[in-house]
Structure 1
Amino acid sequence: MTHNPIRAIFRIATTSLALALGTFIILLTGWIPVRVRRIRFAAWNMRWMARAFLRIFDVRLEPPPPETFTEHEGFIFPNHLSYVDIVLLVSIMPMRFLAKESVRTWPFIGWMARAVGTVFVNRGDKASRHQAREQLAHVERYPPIVVFPEGRIGPGGVLLPFRHGAFEIAAQNSTPFLPCAIIYDREALVQWGDETLWAAVWRLAGRSGPVQARLMPLPVVHPTPEANTQQLALQTHEAIARALAYPPGVLPPEVAEGRNYFDHG
């Protein structure tokens, strides 16, 4: 793969201008209480910015059935490989996210995250985790809230174990969740591994040829307070791994023999 520094500089400079303009518009309109299709007016600028990024970086998203996301009320649980995951999801419609506390202070991105209702959590702080769980339990179900159940960006080629917290919240409040597989044809190129965000963006910006991406929504799960959250987490993990063609995890016998939340036959 050839990396072209001139191409990288052009893409990053163009994206920076679009990001600065979009941030200004979001901050300018964030106080307006008007909602468009049940979503705050300012949040729709996020979709415009996400689509601009994808076009500039030549990331081509195979459009999923839009109503799968636009009509969903509740959580979305996708795999997490790259910072591009967030851009893909927001390009479909404005969504809210559960994000680590440090994102709150990031220039541009942190400002926008606060403006669209992101829930922040410090995973190393028990009180912060409890507060985030309380917010997720009582927040409006629409627009959807994206929670990456791996808890961090994965290594690619395999799914990290899913944390149970979001599944517990979904079950306790009978909140539907939409599992989703995010698939790239050039996975190694978009992956954000043991490097800085700048290094990951620079690598993607300078490459030649398009990146094909796909959002594969799986059947919506409607948990109840009686649901086995370990079973929910492990079966969701297995379903997404299967969609990604990753090696499946091994289900404990007591989970494998329980109710299958993905058997709709």
Structure 2
Amino acid sequence: MTWDPDKAEAPQPPLDRGTKLRFWLRAIPFGIICFGSLGLLLILRQPERWIYGLHRPYTPYITQFVCRMFFRITGMRLIVRGTPMEEHGAIVANHASWTDIFTLHAAKRVYYVSKAEVRGWFGIGWLARATGTIFINRVRGEAKQQQEILRDRLSIGHKLLFFPEGTSTDAMRVLPFKTTLFSAFYDPDLRSMLKIQPVTMIYHAPEGREPTFYGWWGEMDFGWHLVRVLGAPRQGRVELVYHPPIRVADYADRKVLARECERIVRSAMPPERQIIE
């Protein structure tokens, strides 16, 4: 049986006053930077769209600045290993938490492929829409249309970032990769040129906290987890491992490619997190 985030216990103990105070001391300056930058991005995006269409050559730098400021303000350390690819292609990574968004974008300008529910999330939904996120409905009847959108964005050189597990976890494992979205990589116009870069995120909890501190799963409330993470007296770190890109054309089909990407992502996790349940 694979570990199921919707059935796994997700404790939410009460947060003390110190945690709440530290949260506001960090959230207020970050909110000013975040939504101030969002306003600037929205102002610049319209003329950018008129001139460049979907290419967005400048506004992604604003998003990257915000994500880097997240680490400066919270005190969480970001360690990057390997080299983000410059070639035409996409990125696939494991998914542990909402903090993944800041982690991955701080190191590389990317466009996320996200489940449709994120569109309606307070704050994060606004940011996701403004920064060009592609929202995917888990409806079989829309699969072909969604694959065409992915193909169009890949064909103009966007680095699309996928979370093939389909859900976030407790940061202690890599779940089996779902293969559906890999179909877009096998479009006849893309297959021969595309490369996929597997990326592993390894979260290390603050000293004295449980290893799952940064994981966000199951019925865990977003607001509670946000306050907990930003209000921590000490922060931990996240390692971001960029593996060498692999060629789509070297793999017979989406299932084989998905299994190989999953194997590579899991291989960089600590030994105790590589167990396949």
Place the TM-score, normalised by the shorter chain, in its bin: 0.7 to 0.9
Partner of 1:200: 225
Paired with 2:72 and 2:201, the residues of 1 have a C-alpha distance of 18
1:19-98 alignment, distance < 5 Å: 19-33=34-48, 39-65=56-82, 68-69=83-84, 71-98=86-113
1:135 aligns with 2:154: no
- With the length of structure 2 as denominator, give the TM-score of the two structures: 0.80
What code does the residue aligned with 1:192 have? W
Q: 5 Å matches for 1:228-243?
A: 228-243=253-268
Superposition deviation, residue 145 in structure 1: 0.5
Task: Report Cα offsets for 1:41-63 as digits up to 9, x if no partner.
Answer: 22211011111111111111113
Change in 2 beyond 3 A, CA 1:129/1:155: farther
The alpha-carbon deviation at position 144 of structure 1 amounts to 0.8
Q: Following TM superposition, where does structure 1 have runs of at least 4 consecutive aligned residues deviating by more than 6 angstroms?
A: none
Tell me what 1:164 maps to: 179
Greater relative contact order (Cα < 8 A, sep 6+):
2
Whole-angstrom CA distance in 1 between matches of 2:92 and 2:265: 9
Partner of 1:224: 249
Please report the TM-score for the alignment, with normalisation by the length of structure 1. 0.83
Q: Distance in 2 between matches of 1:44 and 1:184?
A: 25
Q: Which amino acid aligns with 1:13?
A: I
Instruction: Give the counterpart of 1:15 among 24, 30, 39.
Output: 30
Structure 1 residue 117: deviation in Å? Answer: 2.1
Unaligned stretches of 5+ residues in structure 1: 251-265
The alignment yields a C-alpha RMSD, in angstroms, of: 2.4
* Residue in 2 that maps onto 1:209: 234
2:195 paired with 1:181:
no
1:106 aligns with 2:121: yes
Instruction: Map Cα deviations across residues 54-84 of structure 1 (whole Å, 9 max, x no partner).
Output: 111111111335xx32614211000000111
Deviation at 1:87, TM superposition (A): 0.4
The answer on whether the counterparts of 2:85 and 2:245 sit within 8 Å (CA) in structure 1 is no
Q: Aligned partners of 1:197, 1:179: CA distance in 2, in Å?
A: 27
What is the number of residues matched between the two proteins? 245
Match of 1:191 in 2: 215
- CA shift at 1:39, angstroms? 4.3
